[in-house]
Chains A and B, each alone.
Chain A
Amino acid sequence: MENFFLIVSLALGFLTLLTLYRAVAGPTIVDRIIATGVIGTKTTIILLLMGFIYGRVDMFVDIAIAYALLSFIATLAAAKFFRHRKSIVPRGKQLGEKGTGA
């Protein structure tokens, strides 16, 4: 059963690496924020699986709760920070002013 948890956490780590590609190479800032949120959710699950592998779930579950709360706050703060900024879009691709740039 520890082997099963190890396989599941390795699969989740591989999926986190695949999501990291979108966080690095995303065309807009919105894609990066989305990928960071997904990585945060996966990291919460991986923390719990680490607790089951090491046999210390009672300690790791508190770390996972704190990580989930911090990830949610970080996503909301990034979304609110970039809400009215025109720099969220690449230059010359904005609504209503095509070709002219910001």
Chain B
Amino acid sequence: MIFISYFLIAAGTFFFATATIGILRFPDCYTRMHAAGKGDTLGALLLLTGLSLYNLHDGFSLASFFVSFKILFIAVFIFVANPTAGHAIVKAALDAGVEPWTGKEGEK
């Protein structure tokens, strides 16, 4: 069980790294939101699930069960809230008239 949690934490860190590379390298705010929304949500979900499993590995008591339940609540909340925030940001950008990136010629 502890090796599963180690694997989940390492995978979450990897997905956070890919999301950061996408935010740094993509040319547009829409593509940056694409990288940030998916990579960040999946990385946070994997990391929080791994931490919640690790919290249960030594001795099952009611207090540690509640702490793990709270960590899973954070995971579910981030899984709902992060795409909502991404949708709101991109809709604000589209309403304000930010021009999408259309190839190398459109780049200034």
Q: Which residues of A contact B (CB under 8 A)?
A: 1, 4, 8, 11-12, 15, 18-19, 21-22, 26-28, 30-31, 33-35, 37-38, 41-42, 44-45, 48-49, 52, 57-58, 61-62, 64-65, 68-69, 72, 75-76, 79-80, 82-86, 88-89, 93-96
Contact = CB atoms under 8 A, between A and B. Distances in A.
Contact of B97 (A41, A52, A95): A95
A72 B85 contact: yes
Interface centre among B10, B12, B29, B63 (most CB of A within 10 A): B29
B17 interface: yes
A90 to B, nearest CB: 9
Interface size range of chain B in the complex = 35 or more
Contacts of B54: 1, 52
Contact of B74 (A31, A34, A64): A64
Contacts of A42: 16
Interface of B: 6, 9-10, 12-13, 16-17, 19-20, 23-24, 29, 32-33, 36, 40, 44, 47-48, 51, 54-55, 63, 67, 70-71, 73-74, 77-78, 81-82, 84-86, 88-93, 95-99, 108
